[in-house]
Amino acid sequence: MTAHKDVGHVPPGQLMLQQITDSDATSNDYAVLDQYLARAAFSPSGTILRTNPLFLAMFDYRAWDLADRHRSIFLPSAPDRETEEGIRLAFEKGIPFQADVTRVKRNGDEFVAEAMYHPICDAAGSVGEVIVLMRDITSQKRRAADIGGQIAAINTSQLVIQFSLDGTILDANPMFLSATGYDLSEVVGRHHSMFVERDEASSSEYKGFWQRLAAGQHSSGEFRRLGRGGSPVWLRATYNPIFDVNGHPFKVVKYAIDVTPEKLQQADYEGQIDAIHKSQCVVTFDLDGTIIDANENFLQAVGYRREEIEGRHHRMLVDPSYAHGLDYEIFWSDLAAGRHRSGEFKRVGQGGREIWLQATYNPVFDQDGKPFKVVKYATAITREKLRQADHQGQIAAIHKSQSVVSFSLDGTILDANDNFLSLTGYRLSDVRGRHHQMFVSDEEREGAAYLEFWRRLASGQHQSGEFKRICRDGKELWLQASYNPIFDMNGRPFKVVKNAVDVTAEKLRQGDHEGQIAAISRSQCVVSFDMDGVILDANDNFLHAMGYRLEELVGQHHRVLVEPSHSESDQYQHFWDQLKKGIFLSSKFRRCGKDGREVWIQASYNPILDLNGQPFKVVKIATDITADVALAADLSKARREVLCDPLTGLPNRMGLTDFIARTVQSLDAKLSLLYLDLDHFKPINDTFGHHIGDHVLREVAARLQLALDVDQIVARVGGDEFVVAAPDLSREDAATLAAKLIKTVKDPIRHDKNSLTVGLSIGIAQAPHDSKNEEELLRFADVALYRSKGGQRGTYSFFSDAVDHSEEADRHLAHEMQFGIKADQFALFFRPRFRAEDSVLDAVEAEVEWNHPDRGRIIANRFVGLAEQSGLIVPLGDWILRASCKAALEWPLITISVAVSPIQFLSGDLPGAVRLALRETGLPAGRLELRVEQSAGPMNIEQIRHELEDLKKIGVRIVVGGQLVGEDATSGRQAWPVDFITIDAPTRRVLERQGHASVKEIAKLEAVMNVPRQSGLPGDSNKRLILWLDNEANLQAFLSVEARSAADVPALLARR
């Protein structure tokens, strides 16, 4: 109860004042403070004693993270010395301290807090604890820095000057002074009027300008001002009144940009436009073609007055047939889309007279880059100029699209255009005046045909074709060219003009195609047919494969190569119907050779299309695979013999193992194994003989097969023992299947006049509940079978029924574990790992044990699974990680290896925990190894892979279980950011299936390791072989020996 003060002799008014000013805080006071202030209590040594929720949220920690931790975990890497000295005095001398401090969150992010350190001292003045109150002021600090940064940015990018309200200059930045040509001392204290013309300064508008600013009104625009010497300066500026806390203006700040160059450029543009208007026809249109304005030159050219065309559409100036055509519509849609149009245009003037204009239609764009009008600049041209322009345009077009070179009649080069020079690699000065023979080979140059070529050109005869020429760098060039004699007014040739197109690429492509066809013909069987299937041609490979001569096949139908029954079938007719439609066909085909022998080919039938896209023949390209087909048939038969039981035809033990391995290799695979044993079979075998026993076994096998679904198999693994493997069954489904099989088998089996009866006992094991290892699953199912046979036969048992899964016991142990983590009941031991090749120490692997106060020592295998199921693996894993790093700090150069569960990726922040442990202990990241081990719990592979990338960036070594990686163990490794992959049993099967080089090495190593005391390592009798694959999929082998305490680890340093 709360004690009440004696108020018997206190006057009422004084009592009320005493109650109001009472220094004792209530629980409500503390509750409100805890909503707004983060609070933590520390011992004088800096150990965290307690925190409020706001403190945990501010630093992003969980409650168990801070138990018995030191305040140094909140310090940044480079703390402020002066601030930390004040904090030290609060803890050691009891002196209160208040300051803005920089602190570090759990993930390493820094923030700024307003902090108050209040020591609680006893009567002797000794510090008992320190209460710290904090408030996150990071956003305020950033806002202040942002405002300061913005002001600094404005001062570095704009002209800034400050005035009092009457216009007196208070300050100016260097950019303003540079623009106006003044020093600061020359302007401070003077009036703004020093920058304007005298007439403007004495005007009423200027006085009103400053009166409005003094009243707090903003002003902006482009202003003409005077610099030193009276030089004009154009400024785009804003005059901004600055208000005090009472909302009264007390000064004016002007921000400006020097736009003097823009104003000069604008004046230059205006002058150019004026010149264009004086010399050319100019007309302005809306985007839809409506005429907005036209200058006098245009009006004079078309014969209209301005009022006759303004507001009317451009189509009034074109022929009506063109105005309603698609080209005209496209013309204006292009302009409306912002595309420029230019050329010579036929237009219709007043009275329908024809006018030709050399014009450009130019879309004009707004500030957003969108066209808003079109301006046309044009020159009226006469008919003669039009003809001349037409000729020049044609020549120019040829020069743009073709290579052109002109020669005198004897072959001397007169001129060449850029296309020709670019093509041959010469400059014009290199070729002008030289003879055409510089472009031909020595052999051609000396030939009579070359001399005849130029004689014919000199006589006025045109020459054309494909010509091989030599470039400057000696490369060959193929030209499709025409040599054209040019005639004078008297009809006599006076020069030769050559127009050419580069066809080198086409020639090379043609040569490549011919080479490919030749290569195919040399290496494969090739035969061609017309569209009716008549053989047109066949190469030697095809003739050899089929045993025919060419003359025996040409003209024959394709059906001579197939069995008669097949050639009459609808399937064969459909085959040729498809080819006639131009459909490509490819497959494996059975054909008949000349002597009737069977020939298998892997072939494609390729319809060849003409220029109109219609098929006109079929080319078949084939490979003789007769030997491969025979080999495959032999292998298939051999595989069946190896994997199947010869008596029943069922898979044998090897076939069963193969099925199980393929089924359980995925991480989330579910498989039920039912181990079956026939009851009362031995008396039948002994009484009636083995041949009757064999009949019973075959009948049972047939019945079992009929009772199973398509994804289930039954295998015979012993005399009267069978195993059924059934994927994706629940416990209830497996029980239903077992009951069905028992019922199926117990029906009597008839043989001659005998009726034989056998029963069935079944043991069931399930993956992943019981195990994911196929050998263990079979063994567990066998254990359950003998439990069935030992009790009431003709029934089934589950292996898991013998295991105690008391949920209550698990909950109780999980509760004890939660307390044990906080009470520091766990201890670490360290298992040395040596390189197998030279016995050098590679790392020590941390192993955790639980020193339970009642149950005694509990090894990891007995509680880690429960920790994963309950989620306690996250705080336990954090403790193991932190304790391992702390221990490793005492062992220079030794790498510490810590096992982590996939559950820690899903339920916790593993990268954050690793960063925190490394930062807190000071252990270099390169000395920490994380081993991601298999878990029976749920796994998100993509999330694990993503967080492994974060861990890899930290710099730690990462080892991942092969079963997690799967088929990526040897290929696709780039998708896994890891250093090593462990070779577990599933990974080894992958390697064996892929024929990986490491398989033989593993066998040799295992043979050596079976020899006791061969390695010379401490604790060698308990050594264990560890096999990994590195990033290059190379085998790495290690030996681990018995775990030891932390105190015994330094003795291993001698082995590094």
More confident residue, 922 or 966: 922
The encoded tokens of residue 916 equal 């925190």
pLDDT at 972: 47
Listed range (130-144, 435-449, 609-623, 972-986) with the worst mean pLDDT? 972-986
CATH of 526-630, one of 3.40.640.10, 1.10.565.10, 3.30.479.30, 3.30.450.20: 3.30.450.20
Angle between helices 690-707 and 681-688 (to 10 degrees): 140
Q: Does an H or E element contain 128, and which?
A: strand 127-136
Residues 781, 875: Cα–Cα separation, whole Å: 37
Q: Is the pLDDT of residue 493 over 70?
A: yes
**Is the distance from CB of 430 to CB of 420 less than 8 angstroms?**
no
Distance set, CA 562 to CA 303, 588, 641 (Å): 85, 13, 33
Instruction: Show Cβ contacts of residue 955 under 8 Å, excluding neighbours closer than 6 positions.
Output: 925, 926
Closest CA to 594 of 545, 642, 634, 629: 545
* Residue with token string 């075959």: 698
CATH number given to 390-507: 3.30.450.20
Alpha carbon distance 676, 742 (integer Å): 9
- On the question of pLDDT at 26 being above 60, the answer is yes
Tell me the average pLDDT across 239-254: 92
Stretch (H or E) spanning 896: strand 896-900
Q: Name the pLDDT band for 723 (thresholds 50, 70, 90).
A: very high
The pLDDT tens digits for 902-922 are 888 876 788 989 999 999 889
Instruction: Find, among 965, 994, 992, the residue nearest to 979 by Cα.
Output: 965
The segment(s) of the chain belonging to CATH 3.30.70.270 are 647-802
Residues of the chain with pLDDT > 70, as a percent, come to 88
158-263: in CATH 3.30.450.20: yes
Q: Which amino acid is at 734?
A: A
Q: Which CATH number fits domain 32-142: 1.20.120.430, 3.30.450.20, 1.20.1090.10, 3.40.50.360?
A: 3.30.450.20
Residue 16 clears pLDDT 60, i.e. is over it:
no
Q: Select from 814, 813, 892, 877 the least CA-distant residue to 846.
A: 877
Give the residues across from 117 on adjacent strands: 97, 132
DSSP 76-125: -SS--HHHHHHHHHHHHH---EEEEEEEE-TTS-EEEEEEEEEEEE-TTS
Domain boundaries for CATH 3.20.20.450 within the chain: 808-1055
Q: Where in the chain is the domain with CATH 3.30.450.20?
A: 32-142, 158-263, 280-381, 390-507, 526-630
The pLDDT, as a whole number, for residue 455 is 94
In tens, the pLDDT along 197-237 reads 999 999 999 999 999 999 999 999 999 999 998 889 999 99
pLDDT score of 1026: 87
How do 928-932 and 97-104 pair as beta strands? unpaired
Q: Give residue 938's pLDDT.
A: 60
What confidence category does residue 1015 fall into, taking pLDDT thresholds of 50, 70 and 90? very low
Cα-based torsion angle of the residue sequence 415, 419, 425, 428 in order, rounded to the nearest 10 degrees: 20
CA distance 243 to 253: 11
Mean pLDDT lowest among 529-538, 709-718, 855-864, 887-896: 855-864
Give the count of beta carbons closer than 10 Å to the beta carbon of residue 810. 15
Position 993 confidence tier, pLDDT thresholds 50, 70, 90? confident
CA 1027 to chain centre: 32
Q: With 70 as the cut, is the pLDDT of residue 637 above it?
A: no
pLDDT above 60 for 450: yes
> What pLDDT score was predicted for residue 838?
82
- pLDDT bucket at 1017, cuts 50 / 70 / 90: very low
Give the per-residue pLDDT at 794. Answer: 84
What tens digit of pLDDT does each residue of 785-816 get?
877 876 667 889 998 876 444 455 667 788 78
pLDDT value, residue 243: 93
pLDDT confidence of residue 779: 82
What is the average pLDDT value for the chain, to the nearest integer? 85
CATH code for residues 808-1055: 3.20.20.450
pLDDT band with cut points at 50, 70 and 90 for residue 754: confident
Average pLDDT for 659-670: 78
pTM: 0.41
pLDDT bucket at 995, cuts 50 / 70 / 90: confident
Alpha helices in 459-581 (DSSP H): 504-523, 540-546, 550-553, 564-567, 570-580
Helix%, strand%, coil% for the chain, nearest 5? 45, 30, 25
CA gap 362, 379 in Å, rounded: 15
The closest of 945, 950, 993, 997 to 972, measured between CA atoms, is 945
d(CA 38, CA 54): 5
Structure tokens that stand for 898 in this block: 């810590």
Top-level CATH class of 280-381?
A: alpha beta
Residue 239: exposure state from Cβ atoms within 10 A (0-12, 13-18, ≥19): buried
Q: How far apart are CA 761 and CA 790, in angstroms?
A: 10
Please answer whether residues 918 and 925 qualify as being in contact, where contact means their C-beta atoms are separated by less than 8 angstroms: yes
DSSP, residue by residue, 249-266: EEEEEEEEEE-HHHHHHH
> CA 678, CA 718: separation in Å to the nearest integer?
11
Q: Determine the Cα–Cα distance for residues 464 and 304; give it in Å rounded to an integer.
A: 53
For strands 1035-1040 and 48-51, give the pairing: unpaired
Contacts 24+ apart (CB under 8 A), 858-862: none
Mean pLDDT of 413-420: 92
Is a pLDDT exceeding 60 seen at residue 20?
no
Looking at per-residue confidence, does 14 or 547 come out higher? 547
Cβ 578 vs Cβ 567: under 8 Å: no
Angle (CA) 715 723 750, round 5°: 75
For residue 1046, CA distances in Å to 715, 1049, 1056 come to: 52, 5, 17
CA 632 vs. chain centroid, Å, equals: 41
Give me the CATH topology for the region 647-802. Answer: Alpha-Beta Plaits (3.30.70)
How would residue 570 be classed by pLDDT, with cut points 50, 70 and 90? confident
- Contact (Cβ atoms closer than 8 angstroms) between residue 983 and residue 962: yes
pLDDT at position 386 is: 56
Name the one residue in this structure whose structure tokens are 């202003």: 223
Tokens for 60? 């992003």
- Take residue 284 and report the two structure tokens written for it: 């302005």
Rounded to 5°, the CA angle 894-900-902 comes to: 155
Task: Give kind and range of the element (H or E) at residue 900.
Answer: strand 896-900
Give Cα separations from 942 to 219, 664, 665, 949, 969 (angstroms). Answer: 59, 20, 18, 11, 16
Is the model more confident about 837 or about 362? Answer: 362
478, β-bridge pairs: 468
How many Å is the Cα radius of gyration of the chain?
48
Q: What is the dihedral of CA 422, 427, 430, 431, to 10 degrees?
A: 50
